[in-house]
Amino acid sequence: MEIKIQSTQFIKPSKLTPEVFRDFKLSILDQFAASSYINQVFYYKTSCKVDIPDICGQLVNSLSEILTLFYPLAGRIRETELEVDCSDQGVKYLETQVSISLDKFFELGPKIDHIRRLIRAPDQEKSALLIVQVNIFKCGSLVIGVSGSHKVTDAYNLVRFVNEWASLNRTGQTSGAFSISFDNLDSVFPPKEIESFEDSPVIDKSQTKIVTKRFVFNGSIISKLRAKSGPRNPRHSRVTLVAAIIWKAIISVDQVKSGSLRNSVLAPAINLRGKTRLPISESSFGNVWVPYSIRYLQNEMEPKFDNLVKLIENTTRDVITRLLNATSEEICKEAMACYAEVGEELKQNKFAIFTSWCNFPIYNADFGFGKPCWVSEAGRSLDMVTLMDDKHGDGIEAWVSLNEKDMSVFEQNEDILSVLS
């Protein structure tokens, strides 16, 4: 598959950002976030008869307009890393030509190496906070890759941005359903200048080759997992069931690698929106999440599937209960403790990081040529699992990133093989 860049430009907001909004202050939750980019790729089947230059021109114009509402994405993080300079420097926008049809692309796997080429790797320099790559396939189909800096946005915000952009491109106006609000989270979670502060441990500091593979748990497999968890608990969520079976396999991988069964920590991210009495809204812009620890202790239970399901559910329920009345200081303290614990896990070469994009409106993004036929991740450079809804809405696609040796063991794990067969 050959991809040629046809054009590269920086798209600025269609209207100047008012002077009063030029300094967008980051919160400590933004500081906690890794200096990495969130990658989302949207696939659209369109006819070869469509006017591609016209479609791309419209995408550029609507992108410029929507940036007036999401103006921090067009800015640059200042050297202090405590605020964004919203002087309308622009987002990076690329158009490419792909040598094959989208159907052929899907027939080839799709391969993770091919997917990564559909979304531009951010420059190593501190530049654009948002990068958009529009890929034009031989058949006329379009694939839009969106890459956003995790220092200013979380995955939930990025999906909302894409949906608002799509609505504006399709109808000429925003829907309002995915509008964003700036709730001064820096006053709720004040940033701090910490001399010893390092990026959260989601940054991979090793030279180990990381392999990303997709595992599809469709609706029927979810039903099997639900039955496997026990007849008395039919309401386990899809996320809990898939997380438990993957965690069980990863505990087994670690046992093979270390020669003994060891304790394990799973560190999911929890969206704070709607889970706290702090002044945070559903549309709050920024990083509005914190990690929490789910601890498996080998001297307390066997790593059975149903045990892990209960452990995940009970711990998550307890965390949600604590969050309801927790102060911002208490939330930050617990997040810091989790980051420290995850850091220790990674030092021991043990897996820890887990995130879910399930129930995000990723399949609602209609730019005017229909809803996406698929939405994908683009792989990670660290040991991590990302869960996403499948296109039918009743299944889950798990994007598992592990070092090369661990992945070869994970793929042959009997639990993974038994459910996916």
pLDDT in tens, 138-183: 999 999 999 999 999 999 999 999 999 999 999 998 878 888 899 8
* Whether residues 280 and 214 fall in one domain: yes
Q: Which DSSP string corresponds to 183-252?
A: --HHHHS-----TT----TTS--S-PPEEEEEEEE-HHHHHHHHHHT-TT-TT--HHHHHHHHHHHHHHH
Cα–Cα distances in Å, from 170 out to 55, 175, 204, 291?
10, 10, 39, 36
- Using CA atoms in the order 352, 357, 359, 365, what is the torsion angle rounded to 10 degrees? -170
Q: Is 193 part of a structural domain of the chain?
A: no
Answer yes or no: is pLDDT of 50 > 80. no
Both 226 and 114 in one domain: the answer is no
Residue 92 maps to a domain: yes
Give the span between the Cα atoms of 402 and 390, in whole angstroms: 21
Q: Within this chain, do residues 414 and 278 fall inside the same structural domain, yes or no?
A: yes
- Residue 121 confidence (pLDDT): 66
pLDDT digits (tens, 9 = 90+) for 226-275: 988 876 656 889 999 999 999 999 999 999 999 999 999 999 999 999 99
With cut-offs at 50, 70 and 90, classify the pLDDT of residue 345.
Answer: confident
Answer yes or no: is pLDDT of 421 > 80: no
Q: Tokens for 83, please give them.
A: 């605020």
Least confident range of 223-232, 310-319, 383-392: 223-232
Cα angle 319, 325, 329; round to 5: 85
Using the 3D structure, point to which of 135, 153, 188 is the last residue of a domain: 188
Specify the pLDDT at position 379.
86
Residue 234: predicted pLDDT: 60
Contact, 180 vs 174, CB < 8 A? no
pLDDT at 286 > cutoff 80: yes
- Ranked by mean pLDDT, which of 70-84, 174-188, 338-352 comes out on top? 70-84
Query: The domain containing residue 226 runs over which residues?
Result: 210-359+380-420
pLDDT above 90: residue 203: no
Query: Could you give the angle at the alpha carbon of 292 between the alpha carbons of 289 and 297, nearest 5°?
Result: 165
Question: Which of 188, 222, 245 finishes a domain?
Answer: 188
Q: What is the mean pLDDT of residues 195-217?
A: 66
Burial class (CB in 10 A: 0-12, 13-18, 19+), 18: exposed
Q: Which residue in the block uniquely carries the two structure tokens 């995850």?
A: 342
- 3-state class (DSSP) for residue 264: strand
Closest CA to 110 of 406, 418, 378, 325: 378
In this prediction, residue 343 carries a pLDDT of 85
Q: Exposure pattern of 148-178 as b/e (b: 16+ CB <10 Å)?
A: bbbbbbbbbbbbbbbbbbbbbbbeeebeeeb
Give the pLDDT score at 75.
96
Return the closest-CA partner of residue 268 out of 229, 312, 309.
312
Strands 37-44 and 142-149: antiparallel
User: Do 390 and 270 fall into the same domain?
Assistant: yes
Measured CA to CA, the distance from residue 337 to residue 126 in angstroms comes to 29
Mean pLDDT across 113-142:
86
Whether residue 84 contacts residue 76, with contact meaning beta carbons closer than 8 Å, is answered with: yes
The answer to whether residues 350 and 225 belong to one domain is: yes
Percentage of the chain modeled with pLDDT above 90: 76
Q: Which of 32-41, 305-314, 345-354 has the lowest mean pLDDT?
A: 345-354
Closest CA to 38 of 135, 119, 144: 119
Residue type at 350 in one-letter notation: K
**Shared domain check, 15 and 159:** yes
Task: Assess whether pLDDT exceeds 50 at residue 311.
Answer: yes
Between 25 and 379, the higher pLDDT residue = 25
User: Which pLDDT belongs to residue 138?
Assistant: 92
Domain contains 204: no
Residues 169 and 274 reside in one and the same domain: no
Q: What is the enclosing helix (H) or strand (E) of 168?
A: helix 155-171
CATH of the domain at 181: 3.30.559.10
- Residue 369 and residue 46 in contact, taking contact as beta carbons nearer than 8 Å: yes
341 and 253 assigned to the same domain: yes
What's the rounded Cα separation, in Å, for the pair 101 and 99? 7
Structure confidence at residue 229 (pLDDT):
85
Same domain, 41 and 89: yes
Residue 238 lies in a domain: yes
Element (H, E) at 266: strand 264-266
Contacts of 386 (CB under 8 A, 6+ apart): 355, 356, 357, 377, 380, 398, 399, 401
Residue 204 has pLDDT above 50, yes or no: no
Mean pLDDT, residues 103-119 taken together: 92
Q: Is the pLDDT of residue 197 over 80?
A: no
How many other C-beta atoms are found inside a 10 Å radius of the C-beta of residue 221?
20
Would residue 367 count as lying in a domain? no
pLDDT-based confidence at 5, cuts 50/70/90?
very high
β-pairing, 142-149 vs 130-136, is antiparallel
Which of the residue ranges 44-53, 75-84, 357-366 has the most confident prediction, judged by mean pLDDT? 357-366
pLDDT at 69: 95
Alpha carbon distance 111, 230 (integer Å): 36
Q: How far apart are CA 205 and CA 12, in angstroms?
A: 34
63: pLDDT confidence band, cut at 50, 70 and 90?
very high
Residues 132 and 53 grouped into a single domain: yes
In a domain, 203, yes or no: no
Statement to judge: residues 42 and 139 lie in one domain: yes
Number of domains, the chain: 2
Would you say residue 119 has pLDDT above 70? yes
Same domain, 140 and 24: yes
Which of 199-208, 211-220, 316-325 has the lowest average pLDDT?
A: 199-208
pLDDT grade for 351, boundaries at 50, 70 and 90: confident
State which H helix or E strand residue 112 sits in: helix 112-116
What does the pLDDT read at residue 352?
78
> Contact, 154 vs 286, CB < 8 A?
yes
CA 231, CA 321: separation in Å to the nearest integer? 26
Mean pLDDT of the chain: 90
